[in-house]
Structure 1
């Protein structure tokens, strides 16, 4: 876990009267125009692994870098195209030989807004001396990674996807030796893929090992070397894409409750239907339990102790849901009002309550610590991708000295802010914490959002006193009105 930014810690020292609103945004480091990374590193050995097992593409680069300059170096750059950068998420870098070292600091750098090439800058934990070597594990994933081919199919036809990639890993430095592996799900049929023949020994790649394709190893390649390729494979599951998730969390000290509500805008990015949907054919297919590219059900694992779950859409309550909660688990299973085929959209809302004792505790310093998952979306075998995530946490009135931590990759955080929001019977307004993120996947559903805050005794008693004073004011006003004589006097 790490603070989102130094500004968060500094602002938290301000008194409540000053804490009206503060915002931090992910900023890009600006470099000189026409920037090119200095050739101070060499990739001695690089292994590029592309995983296409879920409905987003996950890539891992394990590289042994060597400092070939005469001075210590601590900045390593990785290039991406502008098109890739818009869909890239979860960028993290670790030391492959030291799992306890934690993720390295990485950030997007901007040198020319119109350049087709942009860079991520990785800061090594310590400068690498001349001739020294460092093993980096670089992981990230791409949303909207696949293109259905054919683009339209019938509702009982097999779906095939195409993924384009480069056989040579994109690098800002020369690479001495490298290999690329492309992995599909074990049950997937690989329809076709790009064949290449090396010029050195006229060897043909890839080597097909079950559902895995291996390109290489290759010899020395210069900076920016690229060899376009693609693979077309079967994917008999929906391409579930959530363009927007709004997650509201409301904390109540008096009620001992934490209320959750999530609003989803969901799309299936799979192949479109080539003919109109046939409900009879769909009902018949359910008896055979065949795989389908349509999304027909979702399962939401919730926090233990969750109660009062509900499921609605734009029409109203949806009855095709099942909620189970016991001492060991809580789960919400739901079926959309209709099967969501490729190109279809389904917006919906779910919500539930949780006992605050499971999520909120009082620290020895007197402050409160709220620990909740950053996202609690559906858990599907094919995976889920989130384009935009907006988390709002409503704390009790008067909450101040707010601090925020999360183990979501910092490169995915777009903005954090603290503001005020007026709700029922509020006087000064509740403290509202907002965190906006982009390009998140379901692998991060176990990541946490932790808030610490303080409240004063007067803040705790404010609402009951306001309710009491309001009721007394109504009674006094009614008594005063009753004392006024509004009758018509008669002459004696």
Structure 2
């Protein structure tokens, strides 16, 4: 049997483990001191994304100042949520911490930490933004080349919140007058591609009311199924960036044959197809190349603007529903714009993902950063939650130990994720001489071998010289 002392040690370790695990989980409670006085909400479904912005007026009805509050997303929508944020009335970002509430396992919560507490009997205006992907479903799911694309949106008519809402309004932006059907709960109005709902009064916490809209939407339904982004850092003045993009049209599938003749003759043919799209690169981008498995794609235009380089990318064939394409895009940028140093300490500050097309959605992003050989003490800071993969080494010409490779991945990426990551590392500046010295040493050795080979005589028999009388 286990000795008493050993049992005590095991029990202490078990209790310590439980305490650590409990401490690592964020658990909050819903405050009864908070009431939402008013909500003005806008739901933009004019593109392939669903963008919801809300202006929320919080009121403190308690007896102590309120330093934070909870945002929530209903269980049916949380799988489609790609991005969420909150700002105060000065348009400054507020910190969001993912948390849980006991008894609400199906609801996703965030604790919003206010910069200034809400005093007793006072109010504060907070702006929230959320972006959802794959929340619009084509209906019908297949259309002919000449037909428009119809989609369905299924959401919540009310602002989903753990607090009671005194009054709220909702505007749904469609940018089209072609609406097949929509939820009609009074009061509502429809005008110029917009449906207005409300105001509605005294809505209880966690109230859900189905909002259905069936309408025409021919905007590009493009999805990047996988984006592999490679960033190679050099201390010799250049950063090389290469993106391998796998793209798919995820709208209504093409029904029946495709006629290229009709497509070229009639500009209105294939209204839901994608002929081309615009990609924006940094203003300092140079040596841009764009190719697929068949080689360089020349049917693309590049415009150098003041703050960006605009690429008008045109695939080899138009993309209809269910069709896919694959290409590689690469360019160089000067390192002084993104790489900062003080002595042997370096800071790399670059975007985790760049603009692929307007209202983009990326199923999987994989970013690799190749640092110079000899980099140590590497510390990475990300602006959002990512999955960090194992570090590795990359070997290229004149490398001896290999270059460190930092790799991370993220699912469900949208334009709001175009933010800078930071990598701090140490690099002895004397190592800059490694490659030139290797080249000089190699050439010196080569010439020395040539000299030795020319000077020495390796023949076995020495030829006899004929002497004249």
Under TM normalisation by the shorter chain, which class is it?
0.7 to 0.9
How far 1:271 moved relative to its partner? 0.5
TM-score by length of 2: 0.82
CA contact (8 A) 1:302 1:330 kept: yes
Q: In the superposition, relative to structure 1, how do residues 120 and 482 fare at CA in structure 2: closer, same or farther (>3 Å)? A: farther
Identify the residue that residue 287 of structure 2 maps to in structure 1. Answer: 308
3-state DSSP class of the match of 2:438? helix
1:275 and 2:275 are equivalent in the alignment: no
Identify the residue that residue 387 of structure 1 maps to in structure 2. Answer: 363
How far 1:417 moved relative to its partner? 7.8
- Give the Cα–Cα distance (whole angstroms) in 2 for the partners of residues 291 and 284 of structure 1: 11
Identify the residue that residue 49 of structure 2 maps to in structure 1. Answer: 56
CA contact (8 A) 2:344 2:426 kept: yes
Identify the residue that residue 377 of structure 1 maps to in structure 2. Answer: 355
How far 1:51 moved relative to its partner? 0.9
1:148 and 2:141 are equivalent in the alignment: no
How many residue pairs match? The answer is 440
Identify the residue that residue 90 of structure 2 maps to in structure 1. Answer: 98
Q: In the superposition, relative to structure 1, how do residues 458 and 116 fare at CA in structure 2: closer, same or farther (>3 Å)? A: same
CA contact (8 A) 1:47 1:180 kept: yes
Q: Counterparts of 1:55-204 in structure 2 under 5 Å?
A: 55-95=48-88, 97-99=89-91, 102-110=92-100, 115-185=105-175, 187-196=176-185, 204=186
- Give the Cα–Cα distance (whole angstroms) in 1 for the partners of residues 261 and 310 of structure 2: 30
Identify the residue that residue 14 of structure 1 maps to in structure 2. Answer: none
Alignment deviations for residues 390-413 of structure 1 (CA, whole Å, 9 cap, x no partner): 22222222234555566x5x3x54
Alignment deviations for residues 284-341 of structure 1 (CA, whole Å, 9 cap, x no partner): 22xx366721111122232234332222223443332234558886333221121111
Equivalent of residue 372 in structure 2, options 371, 385, 396: 396
- Give the Cα–Cα distance (whole angstroms) in 1 for the partners of residues 206 and 261 of structure 2: 54
Q: In the superposition, relative to structure 1, how do residues 328 and 29 fare at CA in structure 2: closer, same or farther (>3 Å)? A: closer
How far 1:283 moved relative to its partner? 2.0
1:216 and 2:198 are equivalent in the alignment: yes
How far 1:104 moved relative to its partner? 1.3
Between 1:309-318 and 1:413-422, the stretch displaced more is 413-422
Identify the residue that residue 250 of structure 1 maps to in structure 2. Answer: 232
Listed as ranges, the gaps of 5+ residues in structure 1 are 1-27, 197-203
1:232 and 2:214 are equivalent in the alignment: yes
CA contact (8 A) 1:323 1:332 kept: yes
1:469 and 2:441 are equivalent in the alignment: yes
Q: In the superposition, relative to structure 1, how do residues 38 and 245 fare at CA in structure 2: closer, same or farther (>3 Å)? A: same
Identify the residue that residue 13 of structure 2 maps to in structure 1. Answer: none
- Give the Cα–Cα distance (whole angstroms) in 1 for the partners of residues 67 and 409 of structure 2: 30
3-state DSSP class of the match of 1:377? coil
Q: In the superposition, relative to structure 1, how do residues 67 and 481 fare at CA in structure 2: closer, same or farther (>3 Å)? A: farther
CA contact (8 A) 1:312 1:349 kept: yes
How far 1:207 moved relative to its partner? 1.2
How far 1:225 moved relative to its partner? 1.0
Identify the residue that residue 5 of structure 2 maps to in structure 1. Answer: none
Q: In the superposition, relative to structure 1, how do residues 153 and 194 fare at CA in structure 2: closer, same or farther (>3 Å)? A: same
- Give the Cα–Cα distance (whole angstroms) in 1 for the partners of residues 274 and 191 of structure 2: 31
3-state DSSP class of the match of 2:202? coil
1:431 and 2:404 are equivalent in the alignment: yes
How far 1:275 moved relative to its partner? 0.9
Q: In the superposition, relative to structure 1, how do residues 107 and 473 fare at CA in structure 2: closer, same or farther (>3 Å)? A: farther
- Give the Cα–Cα distance (whole angstroms) in 2 for the partners of residues 167 and 346 of structure 1: 37
TM-score by length of 1: 0.79
- Give the Cα–Cα distance (whole angstroms) in 1 for the partners of residues 97 and 221 of structure 2: 29
How far 1:120 moved relative to its partner? 1.9
How far 1:93 moved relative to its partner? 0.8
How far 1:65 moved relative to its partner? 1.5
Q: In the superposition, relative to structure 1, how do residues 146 and 271 fare at CA in structure 2: closer, same or farther (>3 Å)? A: same
How far 1:368 moved relative to its partner? 4.5
CA contact (8 A) 1:307 1:325 kept: no
- CA RMSD across the alignment: 3.3
3-state DSSP class of the match of 2:371? strand
How far 1:372 moved relative to its partner? 3.6
- Give the Cα–Cα distance (whole angstroms) in 1 for the partners of residues 393 and 177 of structure 2: 51
3-state DSSP class of the match of 1:460? helix
Alignment deviations for residues 247-278 of structure 1 (CA, whole Å, 9 cap, x no partner): 11212223x22211011121111101121222
How far 1:444 moved relative to its partner? 5.1
